[in-house]
């Protein structure tokens, strides 16, 4: 009983930290909340049912038990990957461990409480996806369902979250050891990350090579749908246990199917209990300990100007932080890769003159979306300095130059990425050399304008306190603003490009370049004005 | 808005771009020139493990006929075929057999043949392209005799 009470307290404490489980102010609030949840589930069910109806009638995709099995099994794989990674943080690296372990509770109870919390969160998530999916399938699916189908849904909601959660707990142990190894050798971490990226790129290129030429999406629709339906059937043959689990829903169910559903959950829970729990305390108490035996070489500091010093500091920080370095290199690699994939598909389509203009417009939009994601990191470049910003700012010199040094670093990586990207573009499309150069110019002007805009968001509203106190600025509104601005800019430029070029191809290029120059000049002027006025007002 | 949301939007936009260009940006000529089927070939092979023998012969019209001999224990057989070129516009195949009307066999849309009775009567199945090119392939399925008798031919 005492154990149960302690578990209840531990779970309640951890749940109150979650936004979705905040304590209700009154009974009325609680009732309103429950009604709202029911309404949300009903709306999601209606949307999924609508999609299923379109798939059945318009798209000729069979919404039968095969598709249901595929979706459930696929969502479980995503959950297993998510939990394996997420549990490393929430079980072993979470900052609340330091507090929880001080409480008069056994280590096993803390482990169990954490698993219960994760289970409740997953159960809650399933109410927003698996429940509406099953309800919609019961209404719109092509496979007939009986009363047993509706009665089995609650069983599904209870047992399905157990499998990915506890499997994730088991898999998180070797992942934790791997992470520790990678953290101790930063270069290895970057190497593994890039190797993984290389593998993904290799497979995507192999798949893209299968695209037939000419690509006639509408004409080949039937064969695409036949292939898709066959792919679902073939993929399902690998989901051995889930075939029985999904069979519980239909009139072909047997006792064995239910035993496999309940048994799989029970076995995985037991495995996690005997494998992960004994290691829990050992891992959290030892994994943060790591001796540092850096040997510092003596050298005389080279005197540099203010801008040069800040620039070298930025570069050194990136080179010494594997996460940052990987993030920048990822940005450099993804643009050329994305342009390669999308343009291989575009060139396979036999396009008209309007289609050619669309291709230029969409290339611009797709590339700028990616640039928006990369530049959004610049929207917290000043905030990331945290408490150190005061030290940097109090130096008796023109410290605003630090902002320019940050802009330059982002710009260098942007340009490298664009050079690779447009080399790829020139090699696989029919665009002439001059068209590629003009597009490169337009792209760099818009991307640079957006970069300045992103940094400007941070100058106006830096989150230094958040970084200083929590180590990172969670849900930084500047990042959101930067991404939104980038997406809007990309959409506007895509529309403008198509509009200009459909009207007159050569004249369209001139107008597009002038429009991009105007955008960059306006952003540069606003950035400089804001930097001059607001940088000195930034306070910690 | 997070970077994950941008990735999701990026994927959707890429798919939309391909669909929009395929509908509104396609060369008008490309709307007309359907890719017709040039050949239809049955690709089933012998399977020593399941004791299925597949041989090929030619009929009086010079067309290839695929002869399949099944052990009497097998009551289900998958027909496999290939249409060329790979990007042919209509990939749908029609199946005809005299035995279907007699309720001896059934053939699914995917070419799965089911022998509905326990008799060892075989079947002659005709595959035909449905894009108007009328490419035809023929398969004759017979059952191997049990140890006491000879082959049962159609």
Rg over alpha carbons for chain A, rounded to the nearest Å, is 28
Mean pLDDT confidence for A433-447: 92
A254 part of a folded domain: yes
Please tell me which residue of chain B has the smallest CA distance to A357: B25
And the tokens for B65?
A: 């006929």
Q: How many CB atoms lie within 10 A of CB A84?
A: 20
> Domain with B124 in it: what CATH number?
2.60.40
Q: What is the DSSP string of A262-285?
A: HHHHHHHHHHHHHHHHHHHHHHHH
pLDDT tens digits, one per residue of A283-307? 777 765 555 666 677 777 777 788 8
Mean pLDDT confidence for B34-49: 87
Q: Is the pLDDT of residue A187 over 80?
A: no
List of chain B residues whose C-beta atoms are within 8 Å of the C-beta of residue A359: 21, 25
Residue B131, class by beta-carbon neighbours within 10 Å (0-12 exposed, 13-18 middle, 19+ buried)? Answer: middle
Q: Do A7 and A65 belong to one domain?
A: yes
Q: Looking at the complex, does the CB of residue A222 fall below 8 Å from at least one CB of chain B?
A: yes
Residue of B5, B35, B92 with shortest CB distance to A222 = B92
A296 part of a folded domain: no
Is A414:A451 a contact under the CB 8 Å cutoff?
yes
Residue A69, class by beta-carbon neighbours within 10 Å (0-12 exposed, 13-18 middle, 19+ buried)? Answer: buried
pLDDT band at B153 (very low <50, low <70, confident <90, very high): very low
List of chain A residues whose C-beta atoms are within 8 Å of the C-beta of residue B40: none
B110 part of a folded domain: yes
Whole-number pLDDT of residue A289: 59
- List the domain range (segments joined by +) for residue A71: 2-286
Is B100:B57 a contact under the CB 8 Å cutoff?
no
Q: Which of A355, A374, A474, A489 to mutate to test the interface with B (most CBs of B within 10 A)?
A: A355
Torsional class of B103: left (φ above 0), alpha (ψ -120 to 50), beta (otherwise)? left
H-run or E-run covering A160: none
Q: Do A181 and A221 belong to one domain?
A: yes
Torsional class of A431: left (φ above 0), alpha (ψ -120 to 50), beta (otherwise)? beta
**Rounded Cα distance, A354 and A171, in Å:** 52
B45 part of a folded domain: yes
Q: Do A361 and A215 belong to one domain?
A: no
- Crossing angle between the packed helical segments A27-57 and A130-140, to the nearest 10 degrees: 50
Q: Do B126 and B62 belong to one domain?
A: yes
Q: Do A356 and A268 belong to one domain?
A: no
Q: Do B109 and B75 belong to one domain?
A: yes
Q: Do B84 and B119 belong to one domain?
A: yes
Q: Which of A324, A292, A330, A287 is nearest to A88 (CA)?
A: A287
Q: Is the pLDDT of residue B39 over 50?
A: yes
Across the interface, do B13 and A230 touch by the CB < 8 Å criterion?
no
Please give the distance of CA A154 from its chain centroid, rounded to a whole number.
30
Across the interface, do B25 and A359 touch by the CB < 8 Å criterion?
yes
pLDDT tens digits, one per residue of B85-116? 887 877 888 898 877 667 788 888 889 998 88
CA A143 → CA A61, A251, B86, distances in Å? 13, 10, 32
Is B85:B36 a contact under the CB 8 Å cutoff?
no
Across the interface, do B30 and A376 touch by the CB < 8 Å criterion?
no
Q: Looking at the complex, does the CB of residue A230 fall below 8 Å from at least one CB of chain B?
A: yes
Q: Do A411 and A444 belong to one domain?
A: yes
* Chain B contacts to A (CB-CB under 8 A): 1-3, 5-7, 9-10, 13-14, 17-30, 34-35, 86-92, 110
Q: Do B13 and B50 belong to one domain?
A: no
Strands B64-70 and B136-143: parallel
Q: Is the pLDDT of residue A210 over 90?
A: no
Mean pLDDT confidence for A227-242: 85
pLDDT band at B53 (very low <50, low <70, confident <90, very high): very high
List of chain A residues whose C-beta atoms are within 8 Å of the C-beta of residue B26: 216, 349-352, 355
Mean pLDDT confidence for B139-154: 64
Sheet holding B112-115, edge to edge: B76-78, B112-115, B105-107
Q: Looking at the complex, does the CB of residue A239 fall below 8 Å from at least one CB of chain B?
A: no
B136 part of a folded domain: yes
**Rounded Cα distance, A130 and B54, in Å:** 46
Q: Do A311 and A281 belong to one domain?
A: no
Q: Do B23 and B46 belong to one domain?
A: no
Q: Do A421 and A520 belong to one domain?
A: yes
Q: Do A32 and A171 belong to one domain?
A: yes
A294 part of a folded domain: no
Q: Do B59 and B119 belong to one domain?
A: yes
Comparing A36-40, B46-50, B129-133, the range with the smallest average pLDDT is B129-133
B120 part of a folded domain: yes
Is A478:A380 a contact under the CB 8 Å cutoff?
yes
Domains identified in chain A, total number = 2
Q: Do B139 and B114 belong to one domain?
A: yes
Q: Is the pLDDT of residue B154 over 70?
A: no
pLDDT tens digits, one per residue of A394-415? 777 777 888 899 999 999 999 9
Q: Which of A510, A346, A452 is nearest to B17 (CA)?
A: A346
pLDDT band at A73 (very low <50, low <70, confident <90, very high): very high
List of chain A residues whose C-beta atoms are within 8 Å of the C-beta of residue B112: none
Q: Is the pLDDT of residue A42 over 80?
A: yes
Q: Do B15 and B72 belong to one domain?
A: no
A292 part of a folded domain: no
Please tell me which residue of chain B has the smallest CA distance to A339: B14
Whole-number pLDDT of residue B151: 47
Whole-number pLDDT of residue B150: 43
Q: Which of A116, A99, A164, A159 is nearest to A277 (CA)?
A: A116
Q: Do B75 and B138 belong to one domain?
A: yes
Domains identified in chain B, total number = 2
Q: Do A464 and A327 belong to one domain?
A: yes
pLDDT band at A261 (very low <50, low <70, confident <90, very high): confident
Q: Looking at the complex, does the CB of residue A373 fall below 8 Å from at least one CB of chain B?
A: yes
Mean pLDDT confidence for A103-119: 85
Residue of B1, B26, B27 with shortest CB distance to A480 = B1
Q: Do A133 and A190 belong to one domain?
A: yes
Q: Do A274 and A407 belong to one domain?
A: no
List of chain B residues whose C-beta atoms are within 8 Å of the C-beta of residue A217: 18-19, 22-23
Across the interface, do A369 and B19 touch by the CB < 8 Å criterion?
no
Q: Which of A443, A406, A401 is nearest to A422 (CA)?
A: A443
**Rounded Cα distance, A57 and A212, in Å:** 27
Q: Do B62 and B123 belong to one domain?
A: yes
Whole-number pLDDT of residue A133: 93
List of chain B residues whose C-beta atoms are within 8 Å of the C-beta of residue A372: 6
List of chain A residues whose C-beta atoms are within 8 Å of the C-beta of residue B3: 373, 376, 483
List residues bridging with B67 in a β-sheet.
Answer: B55, B140
Comparing A143-147, A428-432, B143-147, the range with the smallest average pLDDT is B143-147
SS3 A64: coil
Whole-number pLDDT of residue A135: 93
Residues above pLDDT 70, as percent of chain A? 94
H-run or E-run covering B87: none
Q: Do B98 and B137 belong to one domain?
A: yes
A298 part of a folded domain: no
B27 part of a folded domain: yes
B153 part of a folded domain: no
Distance from CA of A367 to the nearest CA of B (A): 9
A410 part of a folded domain: yes
Residues above pLDDT 90, as percent of chain A? 23
First to last CA, chain A: 50
B60 part of a folded domain: yes
And the tokens for A358?
A: 């669309």
Q: Do A77 and A156 belong to one domain?
A: yes
Q: Do B55 and B126 belong to one domain?
A: yes
| E-assigned strand segments in B5-132 | 39-42, 53-58, 64-70, 76-78, 81-84, 93-96, 105-107, 112-115, 123-129
Q: Is the pLDDT of residue A416 over 90?
A: yes
Across the interface, do A356 and B25 touch by the CB < 8 Å criterion?
yes
Q: Is the pLDDT of residue A44 over 80?
A: yes
H-run or E-run covering B137: strand B136-143
- List Cβ neighbours of A267 (8 Å cut-off, separation of 6 or more): none
List of chain A residues whose C-beta atoms are within 8 Å of the C-beta of residue B89: 216, 219-220
Q: Is the pLDDT of residue A93 over 80?
A: no
- List the domain range (segments joined by +) for residue B116: 39-143
Distance from CA of B148 to the nearest CA of A (A): 39
pLDDT band at A40 (very low <50, low <70, confident <90, very high): very high
Across the interface, do A351 and B35 touch by the CB < 8 Å criterion?
no
B152 part of a folded domain: no
List of chain B residues whose C-beta atoms are within 8 Å of the C-beta of residue A483: 1-3, 5-6
A291 part of a folded domain: no
- Complex ipTM: 0.70
- Average pLDDT over all residues of chain A: 85
Across the interface, do B6 and A487 touch by the CB < 8 Å criterion?
yes
Across the interface, do B24 and A354 touch by the CB < 8 Å criterion?
yes
State the DSSP code for B66. Answer: E
And the tokens for A39?
A: 């309404």
Structure-model confidence comparison of residues A23 and A397, the more confident one: A397
List of chain B residues whose C-beta atoms are within 8 Å of the C-beta of residue A81: none
């Amino acid at each position: 009983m005492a154990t149960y009470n302690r578990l209840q307290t531990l779970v309640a404490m951890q749940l109150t930290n979650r936004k979705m489980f905040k304590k209700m102010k009154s009974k009325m609030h609680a009732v309103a909340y429950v009604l709202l949840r029911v309404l949300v589930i009903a709306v999601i069910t209606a949307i999924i049912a609508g999609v299923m109806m379109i798939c059945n009638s318009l798209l000729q995709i069979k919404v039968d038990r095969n598709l249901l099995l595929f979706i459930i099994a696929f969502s479980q794989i995503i959950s297993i990957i998510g939990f394996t990674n997420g549990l490393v943080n929430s079980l072993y690296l979470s900052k609340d461990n330091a507090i929880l372990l001080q409480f008069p509770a056994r280590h096993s109870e803390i482990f169990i409480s954490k698993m219960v919390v994760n289970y409740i969160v997953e159960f809650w998530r399933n109410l927003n996806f698996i429940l509406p999916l099953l309800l919609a399938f019961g209404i719109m699916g092509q496979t007939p369902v009986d009363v047993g189908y509706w009665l089995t849904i609650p069983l599904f909601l209870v047992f399905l979250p157990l499998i990915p959660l506890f499997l994730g707990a088991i898999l998180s142990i070797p992942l934790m050891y791997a992470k520790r190894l990678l953290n101790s050798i930063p270069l290895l971490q970057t190497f593994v990350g890039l190797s993984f990226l290389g593998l993904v790129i290799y497979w995507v290129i192999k798949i893209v090579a299968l695209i037939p030429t000419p690509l006639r999406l509408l004409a080949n629709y039937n064969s695409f749908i036949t292939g898709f339906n066959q792919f679902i059937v073939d993929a399902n043959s690998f989901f051995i246990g889930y075939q029985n689990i999904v069979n519980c829903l239909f009139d072909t169910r047997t006792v064995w199917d239910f035993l496999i559903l309940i048994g799989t959950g029970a076995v995985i829970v037991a495995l996690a209990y005997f494998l992960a729990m004994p290691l829990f305390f050992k891992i959290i108490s030892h994994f943060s300990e790591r001796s540092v035996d850096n040997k510092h070489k003596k050298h005389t500091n080279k005197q540099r100007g203010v801008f040069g010093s800040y620039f070298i500091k930025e570069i050194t920080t990136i080179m010494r932080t594997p996460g940052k370095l990987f993030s920048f290199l990822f940005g450099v690699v993804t643009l050329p890769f994305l342009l390669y994939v999308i343009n291989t598909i575009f060139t396979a389509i036999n396009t008209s003159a309007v289609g050619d203009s669309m291709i230029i417009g969409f290339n611009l939009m797709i590339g700028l979306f990616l640039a928006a994601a990369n530049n959004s990191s610049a929207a917290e470049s000043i905030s990331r300095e945290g408490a150190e910003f005061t030290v940097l700012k109090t130096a008796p010199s023109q410290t605003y130059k630090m902002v320019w040094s940050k802009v330059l670093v982002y710009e260098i990586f942007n340009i490298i990425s664009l050079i690779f990207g447009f080399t790829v573009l020139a090699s696989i499309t029919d665009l002439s050399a001059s068209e590629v150069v003009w597009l490169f110019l337009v792209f760099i002007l818009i991307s640079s304008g957006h970069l300045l805009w992103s940094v400007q968001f941070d100058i106006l509203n830096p989150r230094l306190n958040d970084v200083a106190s929590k180590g990172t600025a969670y849900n930084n509104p500047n990042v959101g603003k930067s991404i939104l601005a980038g997406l809007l800019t990309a959409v506007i430029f895509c529309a403008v490009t198509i509009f200009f070029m459909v009207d007159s191809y050569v004249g369209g290029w001139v107008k597009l370049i002038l429009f991009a120059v105007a955008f960059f000049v306006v952003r540069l002027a606003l950035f400089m004005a804001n930097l001059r006025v607001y940088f000195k007002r930034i306070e910690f | 808005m997070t970077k994950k949301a941008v990735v999701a939007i990026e994927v959707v936009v890429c798919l939309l771009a391909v669909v929009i260009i395929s509908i509104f940006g396609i060369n008008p000529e490309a709307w007309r020139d359907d890719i017709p089927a040039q050949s239809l070939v049955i690709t089933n092979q012998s399977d020593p493990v399941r004791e299925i023998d597949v041989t090929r012969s030619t009929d009086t019209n010079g067309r290839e006929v695929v002869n399949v001999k099944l052990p009497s224990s097998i009551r289900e057989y998958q027909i496999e075929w290939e249409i060329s070129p790979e990007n042919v516009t209509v990939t749908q195949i029609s199946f005809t057999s005299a035995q279907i009307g007699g309720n001896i066999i059934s053939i699914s849309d995917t070419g799965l043949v089911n022998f509905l009775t326990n008799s060892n009567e075989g079947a002659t199945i005709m595959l035909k392209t449905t894009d108007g090119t009328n490419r035809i392939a023929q398969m004759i399925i017979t059952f191997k005799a049990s140890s006491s008798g000879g082959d049962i031919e159609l």
